[in-house]
Amino acid sequence: MSRRLPPLNALRAFEAAGRLGSLSAAAEELHVTHGAISKAVAQLEDWLGLELFERPGRRVRLNPVGQEYRLALGRILDQLETATRRCAEAGRSRTLVVNALPTFAMRWLLPRLPRFQRAHPGVELRLVTSDAPLAAVGAEFDVAIRRGPEAWAGYDVAPFLVEREVPVLSPALMVRFPIAEPSDLARHVLLHAETRPGAWARWFKVAGIDGLPPAGNQHFDHFYMALQAAIDGLGVVLGPRPVIDEELKAGRLVAPFAGPAVESRAYCRVVPQARAADSVIRDFCGFLAEEGAAAGFG
């Protein structure tokens, strides 16, 4: 019996527009015009005989029927992509795409990847760094690593590592301006990262010195820049352990006191549900869980 299915291009346009919440963003992702996306969505609605979007003014938003359809369609497209990739990779080495946060990838994941590669020599691992929200990640991935957990619909999610933040600085700066207790931070420049908003305020509150005025503040777009600034002696940063433990062991940074160590959001591995049963992906998720346990998670 032949299947009665809507046009594939219309389904792709609808899924992208619903997931991204924007016809323009969908057009950019699929490399077509805004008008092509609008026409394809209208074609699908005509084919179904119902509306999938609410259209307040010039904006678009999925209605309840459209939201349910988009989630189901996303899972189906993920399954189709996985089956297609497996077919194309038959008889070749397997590629595993991991999309991870930049600082985490550089400071924690990369030094541990050789253990996974030795256990899986037939897997070609492609590591992509990004701090974009998952909904805005255009490229496909097998495993994403983000801080959370959040309401990631359509994904299999599990935390595997927790950070605990403590002030750290370069040994040379510690000699110039010693720190014996939290109030001594008033003599230092504090380093902030836009990707970790409010970190110092939370730490000061837990330390019981809320409102302490520092000697100065410096702000950076990304945490890895703030961390490098601390290594270079520009100020004090809140260093997340165990992610920065290698810097502490190597003596590039020192922690003046053990606490308070303020717990921040966990690192989670995020896998599209359609790929959750894949054996290589399961092995990589198991590897992350083992490394997290070795670092004291759980």
Instruction: Pick the last residue of a domain from 86, 105, 123.
Output: 86
The confidence score (pLDDT) of residue 227 equals 93
C-alpha 206/C-alpha 96 separation (Å) is: 41
User: For 137, left (φ over 0), alpha (ψ -120 to 50), or beta?
Assistant: beta
Same-domain status, 226 and 284: no
CB burial of residue 19 (10 Å; 0-12, 13-18, 19+): buried
Same-domain status, 272 and 145: yes
Instruction: Using a pLDDT cut of 70, give the percent of the chain over it.
Output: 94
- What is the Cβ-side half-sphere exposure of residue 229, based on CA atoms within 13 angstroms? 20
pLDDT in tens, 79-93: 787 777 667 665 566
Same-domain status, 71 and 207: no
In degrees rounded to 5, what are phi and psi of residue 234?
-85, -15
In a domain, 80, yes or no: yes
Residue 210 belongs to domain spanning: 164-263
pLDDT in tens, 48-82: 888 888 876 666 788 989 889 988 888 888 778 77
pLDDT in tens, 210-242: 878 899 999 998 888 999 999 999 999 999 888
The confidence score (pLDDT) of residue 178 equals 95
Same-domain status, 271 and 152: yes
In a domain, 204, yes or no: yes
Same-domain status, 218 and 81: no
What rounded mean pLDDT belongs to the chain? 88
Same-domain status, 195 and 234: yes
C-alpha 20/C-alpha 219 separation (Å) is: 30
Is 170 or 273 the better-scoring residue by pLDDT?
170
In a domain, 3, yes or no: no
Same-domain status, 145 and 286: yes
In a domain, 1, yes or no: no
Same-domain status, 257 and 192: yes
Instruction: Give the global pTM.
Output: 0.63
Query: Per-residue pLDDT for 95 more than 60?
Result: yes
Query: Per-residue pLDDT for 258 more than 90?
Result: no
Query: Per-residue pLDDT for 14 more than 80?
Result: yes
Q: What CATH number does the domain containing 218 carry? A: 3.40.190.10
Total structural domains in the chain?
3
In a domain, 2, yes or no: no
Section 33-61 average pLDDT: 84
Query: Per-residue pLDDT for 1 more than 80?
Result: no
Q: If pLDDT is split at 50, 70 and 90, which confidence band does 197 have?
A: confident
Same-domain status, 39 and 81: yes
Q: What CATH number does the domain containing 63 carry? A: 1.10.10.10
